[in-house]
Structure 1
Amino acid sequence: MPALYSRFSGSNIGRLAALSDGVFAIAMTLLVLELHAPVLEAVHHQRPLWESGALDSEQGLWHALVLLAPKLLTYVMSFLTLGIFWVGQQTQLNQFERANRHLTWIHLAFLASVSLMPFSTAVLGEYIGFRLAVAVYWVNLLLLGAMLLASVTYGHRAGLLKADVDHDMRLAHRRRIVIYQGLYAVAAVLSVINTYVSIVLIVLFQLNSAIAPRIWRLNRF
C-alpha cells in the first residue's frame, strides 16, 4: 500500500521553530517603523513658530515627542505581546515529540496572526481614542491565544507530546491561555469607558506575565 503524503508531511519541529523565529523577528522589527515619521512631521509643522520666536527648537521637539506618545505606547504593548506569545509557542514546541501536517498548519495560522500584529498596532496607534481600534487589537490577541490553545489541545489528542509532559503541565498551558484571554477581553470591554483604560490594563497584564511570575499568584499555572 503506498504511503500517504499526510503521514510524513510537516513533521519537522525544528523547521517549524525556525520559521516561527523568523516571523516573530520580522513582526517585531516592523512595529518600530511607525515611530520615526511623526516626529519629523510634527517638528516641521512647528517651524513657523520657531521663526517667529514664539517657540524654540527644543520645545518643538518635545511637542513632537508628545504627539508620538500614543504610537510609542502601542509599540511597547505590542512588543510585549509578541515576546509573550513567542515564549508561549517555544514552550509548546519544546514539549512536542514530533509534529504532523495538522499541527503544522495550526502553527502556520498562529504565525499568520503574529504577522497581523504590526497592522493592528498601527490601527490602534493612529486611532487610539476609537473603541473599534481597541476591538481590532483585541481580535488579534484572541486569534493568537486561540491558535496556541488549539495547538496544545490537538497535540495531546494526536499523541504528539513527549512522554514526560503530564496532565498537570497540559492543564497549566490551557489554564494560562484561557485566563489571560479572559483578562484581555475584560480590558477590551472597558474601552466603553475609555480606550486608555483598556490599553493600560493590557500592558499591566503583560508585565505581570513577563516579569513578575514570583509575585502574583496569577502566574502560578
Structure 2
Amino acid sequence: MANREPVVGVERLLLFGDAVFAIAITLLSLDITVPSGLTGRQLNHSLRDLIPSLGAYALSFGVIGVQWLAHHSVLRNAERLDTWLIRIDFVFLATIAALPFPARLLSEYGSTAAATAIYAGSIVLASACTTALALRLRQKPALRKAHVPPDRIRRPVLRSSLIMAVFGTSIPITLASPSLAKYWWLLCIPALRLMDRAARKPDGPDAASAPAQAAGTETSNPPS
C-alpha cells in the first residue's frame, strides 16, 4: 500500500512554526509587570525585583531567536515532508511553545538546581529536534530540494549539537552551583561565533577553483 502524502507542505509548516514562535515570545513578556499605585520608593524596589525576570526574558528571547533561525535554515532545504519530519517538527514546536514555563521558573527560582536544570533540559530537547530534522533530510535525499547537497545540512547539525552539548553538560553542574551553570551557557556565544567564522573561510575544491575560473573568464574576454 502506498504511503499517504502529508496534508501540509513545507511553506505551511514554516508559517505555522512562525506563529508558534511569535506566541512564545509574546508569552515571555507577560511576566514583566509592576503593580499599579506604587510610590516612588516602592517602584524602585519593584523594578529591582524585575531584574531576574528581565534576565530570563533576554536569555529566552535570544534562545528562541536562535531556534527560529535554525528551524528555517533546516526546512528551507526541504522539497516535501514525510510523516517523520512532521512528527519531529511538532515535538520541536511544542517545546518552543512551552518554553515560557521554564523561563518563568528560571526568573522566580533561578537559584535552585531544579529550575536551572529544567530550563537547560528544554533547550537540549529543542536542539535535539532541530538536529533530528536535519539528519532526516540528510538521510532521505528524496525529501531535499534537487540543488541541495548533503553538506549544506551539516552546519545546522553542528550548531544544534553544540547548543545541546553546552546546555546538556550544564545540567550536572547545577547540582554544584546553579549560578555556575548559567555562566556555562555563555560558552555558546564564542563557540557559535568561531563556528560561523570557520564556515566563512574559503576552503574546499570550489574555493580553490574560483581563482582559476576567474582567470579563465578574463582570458576568454580580452580587453578591446
- What TM bracket, shorter-length normalisation? 0.7 to 0.9
Q: Which AA in structure 2 matches 1:191?
A: T
Aligned to 2:22: 25
Aligned to 2:54: 72
Q: Which AA in structure 2 matches 1:78?
A: S
Identity of aligned residues (%): 26
Q: Please tell me whether residue 9 in structure 1 is matched to residue 16 in structure 2.
A: no
TM-score, with length taken from structure 1: 0.80
Contact 1:131 1:192 in 2 (8 A): yes
Aligned to 1:62: 44
Count of aligned residue pairs for this structure pair: 197
Pick aligned residue for 2:81 from 99, 118, 122: 99
TM-score, with length taken from structure 2: 0.79
Contact 1:123 1:133 in 2 (8 A): yes
Aligned to 1:51: none
Contact 1:10 1:104 in 2 (8 A): no
Pick aligned residue for 1:218 from 165, 180, 195: 195
Q: Which moved more, 1:155-164 or 1:90-99?
A: 155-164
Q: Which runs of 5+ in 2 are unaligned?
A: 200-224
The SS at the match of 2:30 is helix
Q: Which moved more, 1:193-202 or 1:86-95?
A: 193-202
Q: Who wins on radius of gyration, i.e. which is larger?
A: 2
Aligned counterparts of 2:20 and 2:179: Cα–Cα separation in 1:
29
Where relative contact order (Cα < 8 A, 6+ residues apart) is larger, the structure is: 1
Aligned to 1:49: none
Q: RMSD across aligned C-alpha pairs, in angstroms?
A: 2.2
Aligned counterparts of 1:175 and 1:161: Cα–Cα separation in 2:
19
Q: Which runs of 5+ in 1 are unaligned?
A: 45-56
Q: Which AA in structure 1 matches 2:67?
A: F
Q: Which moved more, 1:80-89 or 1:184-193?
A: 184-193
The SS at the match of 2:79 is coil
Q: Which AA in structure 1 matches 2:29?
A: V
Aligned to 1:171: 154
